């Protein structure tokens, strides 16, 4: 417990007092010195209370806690008092009265408790619960490494970021991701990839239209795991066994792939006019695109059924699901790509 005598001291005076007592004060703040000196003086009260240098400390401490100073005398005085049995005072309501009447419930005469004894008990209880404040110093944090400046912290963060970026770059280079991406791009940059993309889009649109999503699959509940019964709606693949699927699918497959492919193999202008070093198309891409556009026009706009091979209902299903214009546009894109490849090959 720090006293007024210590609080008035300057840091230099506190250091001198601690040196006089043989206490270590390196790295201590003024508050740490006050706590250290107060704790030492309390622990060595018997030896230092008669010292003229530290006697004022005990005087100010005793003036702030009179109960500690008079505890011994009061206890001696109370030992001489007669031991009488006392009971706690209670209040009882008296009829006809507006207040409670204090009466003493005792077996004999009521003997009030001496005021000095009550003070002594209160002072002793206060002294019992009082605990000294722990001494906290900067030496407790001496083992923690602190950065010298904010600039050093920024430099450390920047170096960590650069290290992570360098490791990521090294991992990409070792995996050869960039080189593989370029190889994939080179493989896809041709007329075949353009036509394959267009045909895949048309096939997906047709399958969505002719394959209904109506088959319900119900998974039973699992009480042990707490899973309830769940119902999933899946595509009804049983439609593959009916003509409702195969009639429109064969119409699209014939007009978009089979007939153009057969015509492009037969009339392969690239094989006779263009000689590339190590690459030659077995199918003329320009002939394929022109035949594909012509077949879509004849079937969807002129009602050509290949001699009654395809029904009008199947042709209407393909035109509604895939789209008449989409087939002609896809054929046009394939023809433009074939012309561009032919121009580049002549350079």
What's the 3-state SS for the chain? CCCHHHHCCCHHHHHHHHHHHCCCCCCCCHHHHHHHHHHHHHHCHHHHCCCCCCHHHHHHHHHHCHHHHCHHHHHHHHHHCCCCCCCCEEEEECCCCCCEEEEECCCCCCCCCCHHHHHHHHHHHHHHHCCCCCCCCHHHHCCCCCCCCHHHHHHHHHHHHHHHHHHHHHHHHHHCHHHHHHHHHHHHCCHHHHHHHHHHHHHHHHHHHHCCCCEEEEECCECCCCECCEEEEECCHHHHHCHHHHHHHHHHHHHHHHHHHHHHHHCCCHHHHCCCCCCCCCCCHHHHHHHHHHHHHHHHHCCCCCCCCCCHHHHHHHHHHHHHHHHHHHHHHHHHHHHHHHHHHCC
Confirm if 197 and 256 have CB atoms less than 8 A apart. no
pLDDT of amino acid 143: 55
Q: Which long-range contacts (CB under 8 A, 24 or more apart) does 179-183 make?
A: none
| CA–CA distance, 314 with 319 (Å, rounded to integer) | 9
- The per-residue pLDDT for 13 is 86
Percent of the chain scoring above 90 in pLDDT = 24
How far is Cα 85 from Cα 196, in angstroms, rounded to an integer?
Answer: 111
The 10s digit of each residue's pLDDT in 332-345 is: 999 999 989 888 87
Structural tokens at position 163: 């290290």
Question: Looking at the predicted structure, is the pLDDT value of residue 138 above 80?
Answer: no
- Give me the pLDDT at residue 88, please: 52
Q: Mean of the pLDDT values across residues 77-96?
A: 47
Confidence of residue 280 (pLDDT cuts 50, 70, 90): low
Pairwise pLDDT comparison (336 vs 99), residue with the higher score: 336
Provide mean pLDDT across the span 313-340. 92
* Distance in angstroms (rounded) separating the CA atoms of residues 344 and 347: 6
The confidence score (pLDDT) of residue 331 equals 93
- pLDDT, tens digit (0-9, with 9 covering 90-100), for 26-46: 878 888 888 888 888 888 888
User: pLDDT (tens digit, 9 = 90+) per residue, 1-31?
Assistant: 567 788 888 888 888 888 888 888 887 888 8
Helix axes 324-345, 285-301, angle to 10 degrees: 160
pTM (2 decimals)?
0.47
pLDDT over 50 at 135, yes or no: no
More confident residue, 92 or 218: 218
Which residues in 308-331 are b (16+ Cβ under 10 Å) and which e? eebeeebbebbbebbbbebbbebb
Mean pLDDT score of the chain, rounded to an integer?
A: 76
pLDDT at 164: 92
Q: What's the pLDDT at 279?
A: 53
pLDDT band, very low/low/confident/very high, at 129 (cuts 50, 70, 90): very low
CA distances from 279 to 29, 122, 270, 276, 337 (A): 86, 108, 11, 6, 17
Q: Which residue has the higher pLDDT, 297 or 84?
A: 297
C-alpha distances in angstroms, 253 versus 5, 170, 206, 243?
105, 48, 10, 15
β-strand partners of 231: 218
Q: Is the pLDDT reported for residue 229 higher than 70?
A: yes
């Amino acid at each position: 417990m720090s006293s007024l005598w210590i609080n008035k001291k300057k840091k230099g005076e506190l250091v001198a007092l601690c040196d006089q007592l043989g206490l270590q004060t390196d790295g201590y703040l003024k508050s740490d010195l006050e706590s250290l000196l107060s704790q030492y003086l309390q622990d060595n009260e018997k030896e230092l209370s008669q010292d003229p240098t530290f006697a004022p400390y005990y005087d100010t401490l005793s003036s702030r806690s009179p109960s500690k100073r008079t505890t011994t005398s009061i206890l001696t005085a109370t030992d001489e008092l007669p031991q009488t049995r006392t009971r706690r005072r209670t209040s009882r309501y008296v009829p006809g009265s507006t207040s409670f009447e204090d009466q003493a419930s005792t077996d004999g005469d009521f003997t009030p408790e001496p005021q000095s004894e009550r003070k002594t008990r209160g002072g002793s209880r206060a002294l019992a619960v009082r605990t000294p404040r722990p001494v906290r110093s900067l030496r407790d944090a001496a083992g923690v490494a602190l950065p010298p400046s904010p600039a050093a912290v920024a430099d450390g963060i920047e170096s960590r970021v650069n290290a992570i970026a360098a490791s990521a770059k090294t991992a990409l280079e070792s995996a050869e991701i960039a080189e593989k991406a370029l190889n994939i791009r080179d493989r896809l940059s041709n007329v075949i990839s353009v036509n394959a993309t267009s045909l895949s889009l048309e096939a997906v649109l047709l399958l969505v239209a002719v394959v209904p999503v109506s088959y319900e699959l119900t998974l039973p509940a699992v009480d042990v795991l707490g899973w309830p019964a769940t119902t999933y709606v899946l595509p009804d693949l049983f439609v593959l066994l009916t003509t409702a699927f195969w009639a429109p699918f064969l119409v699209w497959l014939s007009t978009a792939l089979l007939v153009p492919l057969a015509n492009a193999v037969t009339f392969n202008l690239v094989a006779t006019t263009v000689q590339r070093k190590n690459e030659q198309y077995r199918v003329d891409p320009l002939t394929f695109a022109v035949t594909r556009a012509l077949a879509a026009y004849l079937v969807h706009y002129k009602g050509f059924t290949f001699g009654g091979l395809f029904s009008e209902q199947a042709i209407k299903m393909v035109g509604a699901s895939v789209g008449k214009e989409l087939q002609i546009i896809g054929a046009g894109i394939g023809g433009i790509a074939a012309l561009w490849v032919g121009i580049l090959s002549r350079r």
